[in-house]
A = this chain, B = another copy of it.
Amino acid sequence: MKQKKDREVAGLQSLVAVARGDEPADLLLRNGQVVDVFTGEVRRANVVLKDGLIAGVGFGYEKARKVLDISGQFLAPGFIDGHIHIESSLLPVHEFARLALVHGTTAVVADPHEIANVLGIKGVKYMLKASKGLPLDVFLMVPSCVPSTDMETSGARLSQTDISRLLKLDRILGLAEMMNFPGVIFGDETVLGKIVAAKRAGRMVDGHAPAVVGQWLQAYAGAGIESDHECTGRDEATQKLRSGMRLMVREGSAARNLAGLLPVINDFNLRRCCFVTDDKHPEELLRDGHMDAILRKAVSQGMNPVAAIQMVTLNPAEYFGLRRRGAVAPGWRADLVVLNNLQRFRVIRVLKAGKPVVRDGKVLIRLPAMRDRNVTGTIKPGRLMLNRFAMKAEGDMCRVIRLVPDQIVTEQRFTRPTIVRGYVKADPERDLLKLAVLERHKGTGRTGLGLVSGFGLKQGALGTTVAHDSHNMIIIGTNDEDMLVAAKELKRIGGGYVAVARGRVAARLRLPIAGLMSNRKAETVVSDLNRLLAKARIWGSRLANPFIALSFLALPVIPELKLTDRGLVDVGKFKLVNFFCTE
């Protein structure tokens, strides 16, 4: 009956031999303070590693090929970010991985929603390929809502069939945030079909249901949505916990809910909670860090540090079914972080699958870049001529998108536009800028035009190919000529951010990967970005980040008035509306 001895059995034999103390470990971490996310204790112990796994925790272990003394330091499980869009870092995956790793993150669950809107399945597969073999484990969720609406032109669609196929792939954990909550709640067949596909594959379904409570929440959770990261209020968070959803407390660059939601978390519900970033911009990744920054903040606000660590280790691992990850225990993955203490959370070392990969902010190994011609050259806006920005005066009163500072919602206002020789013009004096969204995936030449107030630019134009969710080319300007130059430059550089004034490109950031991500180092990206922001500031915009503000003006699922390549969208009515109106 004896079977041929297999490699896994042989591996286990070595592991238990090290655990017993009979064989030398690959590495002994001596005398650290071990953070125990099971019991809440922090206790001194030796930890021995073998073949990428933790073999044993406790004193008595001395035999090892290599010894690291970590006396006075703290040993925690590697951090996990349970929900992030890597594209928001503007970085190539390997460079995002570098910054995440040096801050103690050893796994992320990413939703490649942005690149999927540009490249569909090809984009999702690219993220898998680009993250393959990195010492950061990148798991993906399949984007659930591509495109987000039919009132815009995206580069690709993900059908239920596409989703079912992607769900079978390795490292894909489920269906990403189901943003179409009305579709779920009102039983849309296609939307529920995607959920059923994920359940059939035995996978998770993440949620996204801002302000959904009461019976609508019962419907949303009941349909099989298992998490939510959009809570802002305490009552909303409590209701979501009661409904069986995991509470993903978001603290990233775009939204910060930690302080607001911390009072909801207690000893009893802790297991159902984790911290996520959702979006993390490159300058914040560089300056503040990643999950370590969240831990620092949570503890500074009074949270038990081991509980906080549990929220970025064991809890997301359990939720996503990542077995034997997220704790310092025998047989568990040796993804480990050595910290100076549990207040500052300074990352001294990171070990990935037992290998030292970070020491004092430096990665110790080369992280390979992935070059793929399939994901560049995605900027196809059609012919770029001045008349694409021309708005014929066809009425008296028009709608204006009124920006709300530091928020992604806008307001709808009405005004009489400034008209010159039969055409609507931007009028910075009246705080009215022209906004253009140029379809950039298929070269249809389609352009949506409108006016924006509250942006504050007094000269020039700003443009980007990062424009949620379809990532068309979006340009805001004080005059049509600079807007045209911006469009041409965005096309020339294959996507990115540009600042143009008096017909000249004053600053640029190249984002050649799908028009969303750089192929450069984070430091270069941030310095390009700073130059762009400086120009915008000089030219009169008082927004914290006008490019981010710009990138949300085309998102037709966030109230109140938005602009896509198909025109203005009244989000409340969920339909396209005319620029000129009769009111």
On A, residues with C-beta under 8 Å from B are 1-3, 5-6, 8-9, 12-13, 15-17, 19-21, 36, 38-41, 53-58, 60-61, 157, 159-161, 184-187, 189-190, 192-193, 195-196, 199-200, 214-224, 238, 241-244, 266-272, 306-307, 318, 321, 324, 327, 329-332
Contacts and interface: CB of A to CB of B under 8 A. Distances in A.
A39 B241 contact: yes
Given A9-B193, A16-B223, A19-B215, 5 more contacts: A13-B192, A41-B242, A54-B222, A58-B214, A223-B331
A1 B158 CA distance: 10
A2 B189 contact: yes
B330 A222 contact: yes
Given A39-B241, A332-B244, A219 B56 contact: yes
A184 B214 CA distance: 51
B39 A242 contact: yes
B244 A187 contact: no
Contacts of A13: 187, 189, 192
Contacts of A329: 221, 242-244
A493 to B, nearest CB: 34
A216 B17 CA distance: 10
Contacts of A219: 15-17, 19-20, 56, 330
A38 B60 CA distance: 39
Contacts of A196: 6, 8-9, 12
Contact of A57 (B60, B195, B218): B218
A244 B330 contact: yes
A36 B272 CA distance: 13
A271 B314 CA distance: 12
B17 A187 contact: yes
Contact of A36 (B38, B224, B242, B327): B242
A73 B292 CA distance: 46
Task: Please give me the 8 A-B residue pairs with the lowest Cβ-Cβ distance, nearest first.
Answer: A222-B330, A244-B329, A40-B268, A56-B218, A19-B219, A267-B267, A222-B331, A13-B187
Contacts of A270: 268
Interface centre among A54, A192, A199, A332 (most CB of B within 10 A): A192
B53 A327 contact: no
Number of copies: 2
A222 B15 contact: yes
B21 A215 contact: yes
Given A3-B160, A55-B222, A269-B40, A16 B185 contact: yes
Contacts of A160: 1, 3
Contacts of A55: 218, 222
A2 B408 CA distance: 32
A256 to B, nearest CB: 24
A188 to B, nearest CB: 9
Nearest to A56: B218
22 contacts: A1-B161, A2-B189, A3-B193, A8-B199, A12-B223, A13-B187, A17-B187, A38-B242, A39-B242, A39-B268, A39-B269, A40-B266, A54-B222, A58-B215, A58-B218, A219-B330, A221-B331, A222-B331, A243-B330, A244-B330, A244-B332, A268-B307
Contacts of A60: 214-215
A291 to B, nearest CB: 20
A169 to B, nearest CB: 17
A161 to B, nearest CB: 7
Contact of A272 (B38, B186, B268): B38
A39 B264 CA distance: 10
Contacts of A193: 3, 6, 9
A257 to B, nearest CB: 18
A23 to B, nearest CB: 10
A319 B472 CA distance: 46
Contacts of A215: 19-21, 56, 58, 60-61
A224 B268 CA distance: 28
Nearest to A187: B13
A387 to B, nearest CB: 36
A165 to B, nearest CB: 13
A562 to B, nearest CB: 26
A1 B193 CA distance: 12
A33 to B, nearest CB: 14
Contacts of A16: 184-187, 192, 219-220, 222-223
Contacts of A187: 12-13, 16-17
Contacts of A40: 266, 268-269
Contacts of A185: 16, 20
A200, A214, A215, A327, most chain B CB atoms within 10 A? A215
Contacts of A1: 157, 159-161
A275 to B, nearest CB: 18
A145 B506 CA distance: 75
A330 B20 contact: no
Nearest to A196: B8
Contacts of A324: 244
A22 B324 CA distance: 43
A39 B235 CA distance: 13
A307 B244 CA distance: 16
**Most B Cβ at <10 Å: residue of A1, A243, A266:** A243
